[in-house]
Amino acid sequence: MLKVGIIIGSTRPGRRGEAVARWVYDIAVQRDDAEFEIVDLKDFGLPLLDEPLPPMTGRYEHPHTLAWAEKIASFDAYIFVTPEYNRSIPGALKNAIDFLYAEWNDKAAAFVGYGATGGVRAVEQLRLITSVLKIADVRTQVELSLSRDFQDFDVLAPAPHHTKVVTTMLDELIAWGGAMRVLRSTSEPTSAEWKHKVHAD
């Protein structure tokens, strides 16, 4: 069964991302074709990128990087939940993505954005970033408006049609995630993947 990580992209106090991620999770776990897990960046305490070697080498030195790499490597697909900050994604999310390389490769991703304009510009940025990491992104995305889908711009109360959008997004993500897993099974493992395999064995 596919494993999907729902990544909360904001770490600030008072964030709305945790409520959004749990709403997506509650819809997702009604399915029987994948396993879902919420991944909170706050739990990993990543500093600003501090690895001496580029992530493409797969040679990580710090315990926080190794813990993050192990978690991300365990998934077949991802759902990025992101607010829009100044027409882009939070710095914490960009930093977390930049820590790794091979762990992201040949996986699938979907996006849930929220903000004044539904987080659409943040998702546009994420699509550019994930393409460089060889992540296949699905077309359907969730766009939550702070004025229409949050009571008093604070408490999550998504309009009913969003549930159908989430379902369609998940259908696409599971299909693409399965295809990318087949692709990975026919490819030579990267140095980082060998490292994870040896550690697991």
Number of domains in the chain: 1
Q: Which residues of the chain have pLDDT under 70?
A: 188-201
Range of the structural domain that residue 31 is part of:
2-200
Helix or strand or coil: residue 144?
A: strand
Q: Do the beta carbons of residue 172 and residue 110 sit within 8 Å?
A: yes
The domain that holds 114 is classified in CATH as 3.40.50.360
Smallest CA-to-CA distance from 90 within 22, 23, 7, 146 is with: 7
pLDDT of residue 194: 42
Contacts of 66 (CB under 8 A, 6+ apart): 60
The per-residue pLDDT for 188 is: 61
Predicted confidence at residue 187, as pLDDT, reads 77
CA gap 18, 115 in Å, rounded: 14
